[in-house]
Structure 1
Amino acid sequence: MGSWFVRSGWSKGELARQVNRRARQTGAHHVSTDTSRVRRWLDGEQPREPIPRILSELFSERFGCVVAVEELGLRQEHRSPQTAGVDLPWAGPQTVRLISEFSRSDLMLGRRGFLGPSLTLAAGPALVEPMQRWLVPGPSAPAGEAPGDRPHRAGRISEPELELLESSTRMFRRWDAQCGGGLRRKAVVGQLHEVTELLQEGHRPAVARRLFKVTAELAHLAGFMSYDVGLQPSAQKYFVLALHAAKEAGDRPLGALVLSDMARQMIHLGRPGDALELVHLAQYGSRETATASTRAMLHAVEARAYANLGQADRCNRAVRAAEDCFADACPADDPDWIRFFSEAELNAENAHSYRDLAYAAARRRTYSSLARPPMQRAVELFGRDVDNHRRSYVFNLIGMATVHLLQEEPEEAAASAERAALAAGKVRSERVNTRLRKTAAAAAAQYPGCAAAVRLSERLAGDLHEYAEEARAV
C-alpha cells in the first residue's frame, strides 16, 4: 500500500478523512479512522472490512484505473462464491436469488450500516470472459414453471399490475436523468427487491419474461445510479445481475445496453481495452435485433473506447457509424430505455470522443477543434430542456470547459465551469462533483494568473451545493 500512497500525493490525514467520508456515504457509520491508524496500515496492519474495499475504491478513482485490494497488499474477508465476483451461474433460479440477496443487503446498508458481501471491481479477463457466456443458450424452464425457485403457490399478477411495474421503471429512469443517482437510488433498489419476490412465484412463461425484463431494467438502473454516486463495485455487480436478467427475458438489445454501460464504467476507471471488448460483445450479441438508435449508441461508446486508446482512425470510423445509424433511427421502434439517445446525446458522445482523443493523442489542437462544435450543440440542446436533462447539461458544460482548456482559453473555461457549478446545485451525482472539481483545479493549475479559474477552484473545494446556493443568492 505504501507505494500507492506515496504516488497519490495524499497526506495521512487527508486519506483518513476520505476513508471516513466514503464510509459515511456507504452507511458504515461505525468506521472512524485517523492519522495514526493510517500509519499502522502503511506499516503492515491489516484493516477489517469495509476498509480494504474503501481503500481500493479511493485509489482506483485517484489513479483512474482499477487498484485491487490485493494490489494494496491487503486481505479480503472470505466471500461466498454465490455472491462474490462476476462469474455467476447463468440460470434463472440463481439469478433471482442473487438479485434478491444483493438488493436486500443494499437496503440494509442504509438502515443498519450493514455492508453485505465484500465487493471488489473485476477487470480484464476476469470480467470479460464471464460476460461472453451471455451469448450461450441456456436451458428453458418447463412450461408454466417459475424461472425462480420451484413455486410454493401460483403467481397471480394482473395485466394492470404488470403495466404499473413497467411504467414505474420508466418513471425512475426519468428521475435519474433529472437529478442524478443520489436521490432515488434506494427507491429503485427497493422496487427491484420487490420484483424479485414476485419472480419466486409461479408464472406463465410470457409473464415471467416480462417480469425478468422489468428486473433487468431496474438492476441496470440501480447499477447506473450506483456508478453515478461513486459506488463502483456495487455498480458493476448490479450491471452483471442485470445482464443475467436480460438473458432470462430473452432481450438481447437490453443486454447490449447493460454491456455498454459496463463499458462506460471501464472507460471511467481507465480500462478502455476492457471497454472495447465489452462493447464489441454487445454489438455482436444484438446485431440482428437492435434498433438503429441502439446501434448508434453502441458505436458512440465504441468511439469513446478507441479515443481513450489513442486510435484516431478507428475512433473516426466509429463516430461516422454512430451518425449514420442515428440518421436511420425510427423513434417509434425504440424501447423506452434507449430514448435517452437523442440528437443531444449523439453530439455529446462524439464531442467527448474527440475531447478524449485530444488528451490521448499528440494533436491536441486538431481534436479539440473537432470536439468544439458538437459539444456546443449538446449544451444548446440539453439546455432547452434542462429540468429533464440537468445532469447531461452539466456534464457537457464541464466538457466545454475542458475543450476551452485544450485550446488555451482559460477565461472561457472558467466561465463554462461556473455555469456548470450553478446548474449542478440540483444534481446529486458524485461523477458530476468530481469532474467539476478536477476541471476547475486543472484550470487554476495551468493558468494561475486567471483569477476567475483560481477563485472557482477554491470555492469548489468546499460543498458544491452550498456554493451553488450562495452564487444564486448573490
Structure 2
Amino acid sequence: MAEKQPNEKLTSWFGRSGWSKGELARQVNRRARQTGAHHVSTDTSRVRRWLDGEQPREPIPKILSELFSERFGSVVSIEDLGLRTVVPVSTVGGGVDLPWSGAQTVQLISEYSRSDLMLNRRGFLGTSLALTAGAALIEPMQRWLSPSPSGAPTPILAAANGGEPYTGRLSEPELQLLEQTTVMFRQWDAQNGGGLRRKAVVGQLHEVTDLLQETYPEHTTKRLFRLTAELAHLAGWMSYDVGMHPSAQKYYVLALHAAKEAGDRPFGALILTDMSRQMIHLNRGEDALELIHLAQYGSRDTATPRQQALLYAMEARAYSTIGEVNRCARAARLAEDTFSDCRPGDNDPNWLKFFSEAELNAENAHSFRDLAYNSTRSPLYASMAAPVMERAVDLFRQDADHVRSYAFNLVGMASVHLLQNEPEQAVVMAEQAVDIARTVRSERLNTRVRKTAAAASRNYKGLDAVDRLAERVVHDIPEFTTSV
C-alpha cells in the first residue's frame, strides 16, 4: 500500500488562515449543523489527520472550501485544498423538472439569482445542490419543444395583451442599453474568464427579472425574455467556467425556459449545446449526446450554417467521449462541410459569432484527441488531432478577443504531444498556457493545466523540462477569485 503523503496544499492554506486546529474543527461542526449534516463531528485530531493526508468524507471538503473562501475573500476550491472533487449527481427526481410557464420562469430565475447574490457571497450555493443527469435531466428538457397548453399565451403575455394598461416604463433606449451590456459581458468573459464578472451578470439577471414583473407590449416582453435567457445562459457558462457545475446546470435550465418564452429556438439550441459540453466535461457522454440531438432537432428549421456546424462539432465531441469512432468522424466531417457554407454577410446573432474557424478546428481536434484517449488505436487518432489542433492554436494566436480559448488549445496541443511521446514540445505549449492562466479567471483552465502537467510528470518525471513545468504550475497558477 502506498504511504500516505501530507496534504501540503491544505497545510499551506491552514497556516495562512491563523486558525488553530480546534478552531477549524469547531467551524466545520457549526457549518455542518447549519446545512443539516448533523452526523459530522470533527475534533483537533481529525484536523491533524487531514493535514497528514487523510481524505475527509462528504460534505466536509465542501465545507472546508466554503470556510477558507470566506476567510480569504476569494474562491478556494476543493482542489485548491488538495482534496478530491466530487460533483454530486442525481439520476432520479432532480431539480430541473420545472413548470414551463412564463410567470413561474420569472419567479424561479428571480429567486435563484437572489439566492446566489445574497446567500452565496463567496461563490457557493451551499452543499446540498446536486447535478441532475440521465432520464431525470433529458426528459424535462424534451418539453422545451412542446407547445404551450392549448396554444394559449403565457400568463405574462396574456396580461400584456388583455386590454389592461401597460405598467412597464422601460424605454427603447434603456432596453437597447441592457442588450448592449449583455454583449459586453460576453466579451469580458471571452477575454478574462468566467470568474471576473460572474456576480455582476447574476446581478443584472436579477434586475431584468424585476422588469418582467411589469406588463409591456408583446414584442417588448419577448425581447426581455430573450435578454433574460442570454443573461441566465451567461451566468451558467461562467459558473461552469469556475467549476460550479450544479449551479451552472440550474442557470442553463432556467435560461432554456426563458428562451422558450421568447420563442427563440436557435438560442435554446445554444443552451442545450453548452449543457452537452458540460456533460462531456463530466464524462457523461450518453447524456451529452441526448442533449445535442435535442438541440439539433429543435433548431432544424432555424439554425444558420454556422450554428449547424457548431451542433455537428459538438455531436462529434459527444461521440468521441463514448468511443464511437465512425460516428465521431462523420459528425466532424459534416461540421467542416457545413461551416464552409458560412458567408461574411450571414445574419448570425452576436452570441454565435464566437464559433469561428478557430473554434471549429479546436472542437474537431479535441474530438480526435479524445478518441486517442478512448481507443486502442491511440497513435492514429493523435496523429489526426495534431495538425487540426495546431491550426486552432495558430488561429487563436491572432485573436486577441478569445484569450482563454487560445490557452485551452495550447493545453490541448500539449496533451497531443504527450500522446505522441514528445514531452519537450508538450512543455513548451503548456508553459505558454500557464502564462495565460495567471492572467485570466478560469478554474476550468487552471484544472486543465494542472492535469496536463500531472500527466507529464507521471510519464516523464526526472526530465528537466517536465520538472520545471510541475514547479511552475505549483507556483504560478494564481489563487482563483470571483471578485466583482
TM-score normalised by length of structure 1: 0.83
Partner of 1:471: none
- 1:89-104 alignment, distance < 5 Å: 89-104=99-114
Q: Is the 8 A contact 2:321 2:374 kept in 1?
A: yes
Using the alignment, how far apart are the partners of 1:329 and 1:89 within structure 2? Answer: 37
Tell me how far 1:203 sits from its aligned partner: 1.2
The residue type equivalent to 1:346 in the other structure is L
Cα 1:35/1:109, change in 2 over 3 Å: farther
Cα 1:46/1:143, change in 2 over 3 Å: closer
Tell me how far 1:141 sits from its aligned partner: 3.1
SS, match of residue 167 in structure 2: coil
- 1:8-407 alignment, distance < 5 Å: 36=46, 51=63, 67-68=88-89, 85-111=95-121, 115=125, 118-138=128-148, 139-141=152-154, 145-146=158-159, 154-331=167-344, 332-386=346-400, 388-407=401-420
Tell me how far 1:458 sits from its aligned partner: 2.5
Q: Which runs of 5+ in 1 are unaligned?
A: 1-5, 22-27, 72-80, 467-474
Cα 1:430/1:406, change in 2 over 3 Å: same
The residue type equivalent to 1:382 in the other structure is F
Tell me how far 1:51 sits from its aligned partner: 4.0
Cα 1:133/1:142, change in 2 over 3 Å: closer
The residue type equivalent to 2:187 in the other structure is R
Using the alignment, how far apart are the partners of 2:267 and 2:4 within structure 1? Answer: 41
Q: Is the 8 A contact 1:301 1:349 kept in 2?
A: yes
The Cα offsets for residues 385-409 of structure 1, whole Å up to 9 and x where unpaired, read as 23x1110000000000000000000
Cα 1:37/1:126, change in 2 over 3 Å: farther
Calculate the aligned-residue CA RMSD, in Å: 3.7
Tell me how far 1:62 sits from its aligned partner: 8.6
TM-score normalised by length of structure 2: 0.81
Partner of 1:472: none
Partner of 1:78: none
Using the alignment, how far apart are the partners of 1:463 and 1:267 within structure 2? Answer: 28
Partner of 2:39: none
Q: Which runs of 4+ in 1 moved over 2 A?
A: 9-21, 28-35, 37-40, 42-54, 61-71, 109-118, 141-147
Cα 1:198/1:338, change in 2 over 3 Å: same
Matched, 1:425 2:438: yes
Tell me how far 1:68 sits from its aligned partner: 3.5
Q: Is the 8 A contact 2:404 2:440 kept in 1?
A: yes
Q: Is the 8 A contact 1:300 1:349 kept in 2?
A: yes
Tell me how far 1:13 sits from its aligned partner: 5.2
Using the alignment, how far apart are the partners of 2:350 and 2:290 within structure 1? Answer: 26
Q: Is the 8 A contact 2:101 2:155 kept in 1?
A: no
SS, match of residue 461 in structure 1: helix
Using the alignment, how far apart are the partners of 1:327 and 1:250 within structure 2? Answer: 28
Using the alignment, how far apart are the partners of 2:475 and 2:165 within structure 1? Answer: 54
Q: Is the 8 A contact 1:105 1:114 kept in 2?
A: no
Tell me how far 1:441 sits from its aligned partner: 1.2
The Cα offsets for residues 195-248 of structure 1, whole Å up to 9 and x where unpaired, read as 000011011111111000000000000000000001111100000000000000
SS, match of residue 119 in structure 1: coil
Using the alignment, how far apart are the partners of 2:55 and 2:408 within structure 1? Answer: 40
Cα 1:144/1:231, change in 2 over 3 Å: closer
Higher RCO (CA < 8 A, seq sep 6+): 2
Worse-matched range after superposition: 191-200 or 328-337: 328-337
Q: Is the 8 A contact 1:185 1:226 kept in 2?
A: yes
SS, match of residue 88 in structure 1: coil
SS, match of residue 330 in structure 1: coil
Tell me how far 1:47 sits from its aligned partner: 5.5
Q: Is the 8 A contact 2:90 2:133 kept in 1?
A: no
